[in-house]
Copies of this chain bind each other. A is one copy, B any other.
């Protein structure tokens, strides 16, 4: 019986050219992380289920891929829970680990586990795959690569500033222009929610606010009225918040309206420090602005939050985001280690580079020299020549003694820059030829002299 070769919905094969392009982006990010003093760690693809679950909200937890216990252990399936429609209990009875959903919770687990060996502040980056059982749809995959940089164990606002610098430098190295980096603070959002009497529904308020880029201001306000019974008298306030454009105006506005406790006072101070820093050290390719409507969905953020997007490609949404999370290690009763992190959206950055032709041409011209095959005895005699070229080029030996026209067609199809010719005639004349595939020009090289190179 023949099996149809196919992959699960929501997954992808990466063909050579795609891998090269992704590696190009990943390498630029890595280089920058390293230059900023971050160290790479890697954690297992699966974690114990109790470590992962309970961090991402109900919706997030639902999207975690559970791994079935192996061998005889599946016999412990709790069949009654299935009959009672208690699916999560049923799943727990046959699965105790799951594929990681992001890299932040594994990091919190990691620093808690090794807290006595790590000298804090700990700066790490991590570029690994994560898995989400999302309904597969165009451009949304169940397996994708996250690129994260985080600092654990320091409250200093210099970390927030550094995150902005990492975004700016890395994306500049990739050639991106006209970027927009938006900043907000959870403590300010908290004050706002209190002022407009929605603080008892803070999470829901954030989730609705987070939709502003997709559905627009009017619809956000409509949804706040319908779902959370926002009072009419606060609508104008919200509109002002949404429409403030200058960073100074916004800070002034916060100062007047939303400093209601110690937390919001500290938050304002932090935003001011960020503003002052970047007034002096500003970038051409990236506009840094405060945006009080920025919410970011994930439960665990507690302080400054970021989001970065491309003004030239608003259609794809943000290309990165992050923020400060104070309490993520609390679950492990680790000393409360404040953390801050950012993430790069590899797929979306790829989309921009591809669309704006920002990948270097060399990525498309991977194949350099093809050695035509006139028989194994000629390949054997070429050994020193092959070794010489392999020092600085990639060199492919055509393995079969096929017709030369077929070999040339292979060179052509795979865009080889040149072919190396060494057969009977060349051997008798003590030469080999290198033919440039684009110009057709042949270079004749003496193989006897070549030995002495």
Contact = CB atoms under 8 A, between A and B. Distances in A.
Given A162-B399, A332-B3, A65 B70 contact: yes
A130 to B, nearest CB: 10
A351 interface: no
A395 B162 CA distance: 12
Interface stretch (A35-43, A181-189, A315-323): A35-43
B399 A37 contact: no
Contacts of A67: 65-68, 99
Contacts of A443: none
What is the interface residue range for chain A against chain B?
Answer: 35 or more
Contacts of A90: 74, 77
A158 interface: yes
A334 B45 contact: no
Interface in A281-335: 281, 331-334
A400 B46 contact: no
A70 B397 CA distance: 47
A196 interface: no
A275 interface: no
A400 B121 contact: yes
B41 A133 contact: no
Given A74-B90, A399-B158, A143 B40 contact: no
Contacts of A85: 75
B14 A41 contact: yes
Query: How many identical chains are in the complex?
Result: 2
A405 interface: no
Contacts of A13: 41-44, 110, 113-114
A158 B45 contact: no
A216 B11 CA distance: 45
Nearest to A383: B281
Contacts of A332: 2-5
Contacts of A390: 35-36, 169
Given A47-B8, A74-B90, A113-B5, A40 B68 contact: no
Interface string A35-61: 111011111111110110000000000
B158 A397 contact: yes
A389 to B, nearest CB: 9
A403 to B, nearest CB: 14
B110 A380 contact: no
A398 B383 CA distance: 53
Contacts of A11: 44-46
B376 A157 contact: yes
Contact of A113 (B6, B37, B40, B71): B6
B68 A333 contact: no
Contact of A82 (B79, B157, B281): B79
A112 B8 contact: no
Interface stretch (A148-156, A231-239, A242-250, A444-452): A148-156
B94 A410 contact: no
Contacts of A71: 62, 87, 133
A59 to B, nearest CB: 12
B41 A399 contact: no
A7 interface: yes
A133 B79 contact: no
Contacts of A397: 37, 158, 162
Nearest to A134: B70
Q: Which 8 A-B pairs have the closest CB atoms?
A: A37-B396, A16-B39, A11-B44, A70-B133, A2-B333, A5-B113, A14-B42, A5-B112
